Amino acid sequence: MNYFSSDFKLGILGGGQLGKMLLFDTRKFDIQTYVLDPSDEAPSRMACNKFFKGDLMDFETVYNFGKQVDVLTFEIELVNLDALEKLENEGKKVYPSPKTLKLIQNKGIQKDFYIKNNIPTAPFKRYATLKELVVDLVEANIQLPFVWKCTEFGYDGNGVKIIRQTSDLENLPNVECIAETMVPFKNELAVIVCRNPQGEIRTYPVVEMEFHPEANQVEYVICPARIDKKVADEARLIALNVSQQFNHVGLLAVEMFQTQNDEILVNEVAPRPHNSGHYSIEASYTSQFENHLRAIMDLPLGNTESKVAGIMVNLVGAEGFSGDVTYKNIETILGWNGVTPHIYGKKQTRPFRKMGHVTIVNEDMAEARRIAEDVKNTIKVIS
């Protein structure tokens, strides 16, 4: 199929920042794009050929949208699976496949999949409701502390909570959930795997994540991770295995824990471009977004190695500010070498909302990390 400067149409479900960054590469290649998103102010709106407003969980909306395009992909997992399955059964190319998404969308099913396929993961128990979990806790069948996760609709630290005492369970929704053993880990790591329908597969270098202590959001993504080569090689091998077991096409971000004794445990996966791969736009030979496109169009995959050390700083809304967004001191950081801001185009800020990111590239990792700290302390997302 001729994808470039042709009648070929790529459909993207979701019009957030991931879609916007994916569209940068579709423009580079002159590929027609259709985007579906529930918001009139979706960041992707400015960069696609045709924008459709609609509910991503509504069967008819997703099905009718998918009928109009040649290949369908998504930048958010919360989409109507039945519509995707019907489209695929009718011969539409949907990547990643709804079969893969079905195993990932629900965290309980995802965790069961790891156990079934001998993929190392933290011990856990599944519960149909929060009430069932509370009963189990009262009867001392599970031990404090543990990590509570709702199985569906969680994102960016929402739907995840560390439970240190019984009262921490108050005000949580009475939904299906899992209680996961807390892993005393050295590092949180991630590996992005890229795979096309022919089975060509590549991994990006292991990245290390530094988290905000309160918001449970990533503050810095550091590539390459500052870990032993043996541990990094093991993480990449496990990520490759996870990808092949899921039989996924496109990008798969595999988030992991490195335990105190250097065991690698898979935390969870995301079948799409991912926050942990944003550094690749500036630091890699081929960005995660370009490789996602190459994969879903069954083209040869690009080089996933890094040209230089890269660190990404998430730009999130400052506490105490809600309303029309202002980026304070952005001109200052633009004056620094190797610093590139990405503003997502969300007009309204609120505390901890992801509004953009900044990539810092440098030959010297320590220097990149120092500049990243300066960036974090300088730029402010306020209203």
The H or E element that residue 362 is part of is strand 354-362
Instruction: Determine if residue 290 is labeled as part of a ligand binding site.
Output: no
Instruction: Determine if residue 149 is labeled as part of a ligand binding site.
Output: yes
Instruction: Determine if residue 60 is labeled as part of a ligand binding site.
Output: no
Between helices 98-105 and 229-246, what is the axis angle to 10°?
120
Beta pairing class for 160-163 and 146-150: antiparallel
| 3-class secondary-structure state, position 163 | strand
Instruction: Determine if residue 41 is labeled as part of a ligand binding site.
Output: no
Tokens of 109: 């099913």
Instruction: Determine if residue 183 is labeled as part of a ligand binding site.
Output: yes
Instruction: Determine if residue 267 is labeled as part of a ligand binding site.
Output: yes
Task: Assess contact for 246 and 252: CB atoms under 8 A.
Answer: yes
Cross-strand partners of 221: 209, 312
Instruction: Determine if residue 182 is labeled as part of a ligand binding site.
Output: yes
Tokens of 86: 């019907």
Nearest to 374 by CA among 317, 335, 348, 322: 335
Q: CA 118 to CA 112: how far, in whole Å?
A: 10
Distance of CA 380 to the CA centre of its chain: 23
Known binding residues for ATP are 107, 149, 180-183, 188, 267-268
Known binding residues are 107, 149, 180-183, 188, 267-268
